[in-house]
Structure 1
Amino acid sequence: MINIALLTPCIIEGDAVSNDVIGMYHCLKKYGYNAQLFADYWESSINNIKHVNQVKSFITKKKDILVYHYSVGWDIALDIINHINCIKVIKYHNVTPPEFFQGINADYASVCQAGRKQLKLIADVPGALYLSDSEYNADELHSMGVSQENSLVIPPFHHIDDLQYVDSDTSILDKYLDEKVNILMVGRLAPNKGHSALIDAFDVYHKNYNRNSRLIVVGKQDDRLNIYTTRLYEKVKYLGLQESVIFTGGVSTASLKAYYLVANTFMITSEHEGFCVPLVESMAMKVPIVAYGSTAIPYTVGKAGLVWEQPDPYLMAGSIDCIASKESISVTLGDMGWRRYQETFTNEQIESKFMRAIKSIE
């Protein structure tokens, strides 16, 4: 029997890359493959995770498959890829440019810099099959010499099925289902996420269109990025928006569902995304999308939202007002997002694409 190793630096519940790794694992198990998860560090309820130093004792045949999820520089994995004799698959999630973290956290900047540097080596693995979350990621690999014949776009597995079927947190519904317009952003508080522009756009909307509104920012806060987080809080205070901008921190699936249910619009002004799962969550929950079309965002949204070439706060605010004040536009955009989710991003469709890729290299 073929052994398939799924390799990633860390597996953490709720992390987008981890969700993709775990989704692949369950998919392979479903189809009868002897799959095994390997990581250097993990916080997961899944029991079948082994340390990376055991990979070489699991992958012992030329027909075995190693699937490496690449999102940061990792010398251990590079050494394994260079010295192990098997079929190799690289799943590319993109690497955040280090410039975003300069002056905020030197360790983050260093890891990202190493990731960008190592990418040139990862893109040159002989005979490897490359899987990318998005066309944006694939284009980056192609620019580094990866042939299109050895490259496929397969969106990441996700936990949206859990989001759709879990009971929502009623306390959040009771608190925020009022007369106010709720603008939602989901994503960890990190400098590539463009929260400053998000706050600027909300400031214009709140003060020029509708003071009966709030911005809800859902996402984990990292103590290592306190400089960035502090800047955001200071900006909110400077603009006098303390009562209208809510930072929730990390939330449960039940709470996340509730925030989507109370949202009139999902707005994102992120400057770097390799895919952006919250956009797909918004589509699945029929929440209209307003976005700055950086990096992978236009590829993920397609024609199912309002995507602009610049994060102009007045343009973004006007878009929010258009959706909030005209129910027909809100419903139409919500339905367009739902259709795109159903046609492109369900786990069933991702599973089908992934299994075709695996069978093509057996």
Structure 2
Amino acid sequence: MSEIHQVLVSAGPGDAITNAALQVQAKLRELGPSEIFARHVHPAMVGEVRMLSEFAPPRKQQTADLIVYHASIGEPTVFSFLYERPEPLAVVYHNITPPGYFVPYDSDFASLLEAGRYEVAKLAERVVVAVAASEFNAADLRSMGYRNVDVVPLRVDSSRLRAVPDDPATVSALAGVDGPVVLFVGQVSPHKRHDWLLAAYHALVTYLEPNAHLFMVGPARLEPFRRAVELYAAELRLRRAWFTGSISLEALVTYYRRADVFVTASEHEGFCVPLLEAMTFDLPIVARAHTAVPETLGGAGLLLDPDDSPLVAAEAVSALVGDEALRQVLADRGRERLAVLDEQASRKDVVEDLVAVIES
């Protein structure tokens, strides 16, 4: 019987890293005891995730077979805990956003990101296996001195997602929407480039699709940036651009079902799960070719050059709104891409990697 525990910096509802840890935990519990610990735990996660302070104190002999750290940001308490534990350590690397995006809005948070890269690099001497969701993430780890890195793509349970019922309140709210719906899903954060997306939407409604709506779904975890982009939208008089904030899973799938095009302007992604969610609902995608986005998209969408202007994005969205044949081609490619990722994930399982370390 194996005892494998996971450690996160923070755990919250709807958070991609928390969700990934919960999926891994479900499989680990088939093998033995497995808990998730975090330095910061959202009240909604109490009962599913334990405080890091509850982890058994270190002894001369290890108290678990393996500790799995989900790395995405710096945190000195978590780093000290991991560095000093006697157990073997595995890292699941979700990538660390370049701190420069955050300096104008939250210098303390930017410092945590900068520290995160130092901490991940320092942990390399302790890590027995590292897992990355993309080759982009794996290359980043290798640049920090990691040698044993396995790429295991994330997967979306498409059947489960399609079975989620609509949210009645969201259905009612969208019933009055009378034009094309452009959707983005992701937290309101500087590297997601909501400002660039709003500029593209402004071009879209000014020159091409005057009745289009833009829904930006996701929590705002950085208030100064949220205020900045909302002010920008107001200055552009974008009366059909909406920030939804955090929403339920039922509301999320309702937006996916109603949307006509999914657009992301993000400039930094370690994988980008919403791309797979959009494919699940046959939603055509427009994305910018930054970081892991081209790798995850795999040709199942319109990929813009990083130097393309917002006007190019507007033209791509308009083309998808009006071309049913192209929409169908991209929907077919999306289903094929999901099948490929599912097959890759079935051949390379995170839990199998972790168990192999223990057995060796």
TM (norm. structure 1) is 0.90
Deviations, residues 225-245 of structure 1 (Å, cap 9, x unaligned): 332122212222222212x21
- Answer yes or no: is the 8 Å Cα contact 1:154–1:350 preserved in 2: no
Partner of residue 354, structure 1: 350
Shift of residue 159 of structure 1? 6.8
- Answer yes or no: is the 8 Å Cα contact 2:2–2:31 preserved in 1: no
Q: Which amino acid aligns with 2:33?
A: N
Q: Which amino acid aligns with 2:121?
A: K
* One of 213, 223, 228 as aligned partner of 1:226: 223
Distance 1:173 1:327, change over 3 A: farther
* One of 162, 165, 168 as aligned partner of 2:166: 168
Shift of residue 160 of structure 1? 5.7
Distance 1:85 1:161, change over 3 A: farther
Deviations, residues 65-91 of structure 1 (Å, cap 9, x unaligned): 110111111223322333323332101
Partner of residue 268, structure 1: 264
Q: Distance between the aligned counterparts of 1:50 and 1:179, measured in 2? A: 46
* One of 316, 330, 343 as aligned partner of 2:327: 330
Q: Which amino acid aligns with 2:244?
A: T
Q: Which runs of 5+ in 1 are unaligned?
A: none
Q: Distance between the aligned counterparts of 1:91 and 1:180, measured in 2? A: 42
Partner of residue 26, structure 2: 26
Partner of residue 67, structure 2: 66
- Structure 1 window deviating more from structure 2 (285-294 vs 73-82): it is 73-82
Q: Which amino acid aligns with 1:41?
A: H
- Answer yes or no: is the 8 Å Cα contact 1:39–1:51 preserved in 2: yes
Partner of residue 50, structure 1: 50
Distance 1:63 1:7, change over 3 A: closer
Q: Distance between the aligned counterparts of 1:263 and 1:271, measured in 2? A: 22
Question: What's the % identity of the aligned pairs?
Answer: 28
1:105 maps to 2:78:
no
SS in 2 for 1:152: strand
Distance 1:211 1:186, change over 3 A: same
- Answer yes or no: is the 8 Å Cα contact 2:130–2:150 preserved in 1: yes
Partner of residue 13, structure 2: 13
1:151 maps to 2:152:
no
Q: Distance between the aligned counterparts of 1:262 and 1:159, measured in 2? A: 20
- Answer yes or no: is the 8 Å Cα contact 1:5–1:58 preserved in 2: no
SS in 2 for 1:104: coil
SS in 1 for 2:354: helix
Q: Distance between the aligned counterparts of 1:75 and 1:99, measured in 2? A: 20
TM (norm. structure 2) is 0.90
Between the two proteins, the alignment pairs up a number of residues equal to 354
Q: Distance between the aligned counterparts of 1:157 and 1:20, measured in 2? A: 9
Q: CA RMSD in A?
A: 2.4
The runs of at least 4 aligned residues of structure 1 exceeding 6 Å deviation read none
Deviations, residues 88-115 of structure 1 (Å, cap 9, x unaligned): 2101111111111112112212221221
Shift of residue 56 of structure 1? 4.4
Distance 1:102 1:127, change over 3 A: closer
Q: Which amino acid aligns with 2:194?
A: H
Distance 1:57 1:117, change over 3 A: closer
